[in-house]
Structure 1
Amino acid sequence: MPQATVSMIYCVQQATGTDAGVNEAIAGLPELLLPGEFGGMPLQAIRALPGVIAAVDAARADPDDLYITTSTGGGRDNAIWPSAGGVVQIQAGQSETPDVTVAFDHSQNLSLWDYDSVSDDDLLGSVTMFASEQGQGEIAKLAKSPIENSYYYVVYRVD
């Protein structure tokens, strides 16, 4: 039975720092304000909202509270790394060395999650490891989430 050993997780870009509640509040501003309150420029104010959201996101460059599961369902209790219930904070440019080994038959999913105490955990990305990769040495795959705007390299080998 093949075994995959995850040797490194490298964060290219952590998830966006702006949560859905902030985005919804900013996006809801045009509904709350009367056109006269924009100083006669409602379209320019509405067009500026994505820039406001991006500025808030840049200012809140919070680290991800990373954990890894072997399923497509989150939950820190299902974590294979760092440990059940645990997280590791990580930001762009940082890496971790989990050195965790997973036995599998034909293929195995590996999902990276960001723990969120307020709402559901966020999927940062997934990779699939295959038995056919056995003996190929270290393999690096990109785990990404267009929803969270997160990018991580997962480095592993299959023995």
Structure 2
Amino acid sequence: MRADPIKSTQEAVMTATATIRDVWCLHAATGTDVGVNEAIADLAESIPLDELGLGSLESVVRGIPSAVQMIDTARSDPDDLYITTDTAGGLDHSIWPGGEQTTSIQAGQSAQPGIDVPVSFAQNVSLWDFDSVSSDDLLGSVQIREDEQGRGNIAKLAKSDVEGSVYYVTYAVN
């Protein structure tokens, strides 16, 4: 019995489908940006240490990371999350939540997109934080591979050292 060449060609073109089940936020993006960090760092150049009773310049400079952390903790801004399958970002590229919307998410929270993404060889899935004032921030990406098909739920780390964000994306490839 001969193989059907049309059916074989169709099977070769078919791709796997990944279902994005869960996005869990371990740490949202920092509430302070590079500009704020630089502004705080620049303060050490102009602080009258003796007048303010702050001691040595060294102690002030060593305290700057703590100050930035305190500002970030006090603000605890949520990420305005959306997902794309490219690295360009932009709500117009969003595959979830759709309709140029975002989902507010903070550390310890999760979202269940329940979306299907076609996967041919490999597919990028990127998490973004919408920013109405400047460009959106890339929170992290994962690569879903077609050869993960049939392995059940897989959780991959998506993080950004620049933004300070840490997420796990759980999916299954069928």
Q: Deviations over 1:105-150 (max 9, x none)?
A: 1110000011112222111111000110111111111111111111
Q: Give 1 or 2 for the bigger CA radius of gyration.
A: 2
The aligned runs of 1:9-158 (5 Å cut-off) are 9-34=23-48, 36-39=50-53, 41-158=56-173
Let me know the Cα RMSD of the aligned residues: 1.5
Range moving further from structure 2, 129-138 or 26-35: 26-35
Give the TM-score normalised by structure 2: 0.85
TM-fit CA distance, 1:30: 2.0
How many pairs were matched up? 159
Distance (Å, rounded) in 2 between the aligned partners of 1:78 and 1:150: 21
Query: Could you list the runs of 4 or more consecutive aligned residues of structure 1 that deviate by over 6 angstroms after TM superposition?
Result: none
- Which ranges of structure 1 fall in alignment gaps of 5 or more residues? none
Distance (Å, rounded) in 2 between the aligned partners of 1:95 and 1:75: 21
1:67–1:113: 8 Å Cα contact kept in structure 2? Answer: yes
Q: Deviations over 1:19-68 (max 9, x none)?
A: 22321221110233345445452222222111111111111111100000
Distance (Å, rounded) in 2 between the aligned partners of 1:84 and 1:71: 17
Aligned residue type for 2:165: S
2:25–2:166: 8 Å Cα contact kept in structure 1? Answer: yes
Identity %: 53
Distance (Å, rounded) in 2 between the aligned partners of 1:86 and 1:34: 47
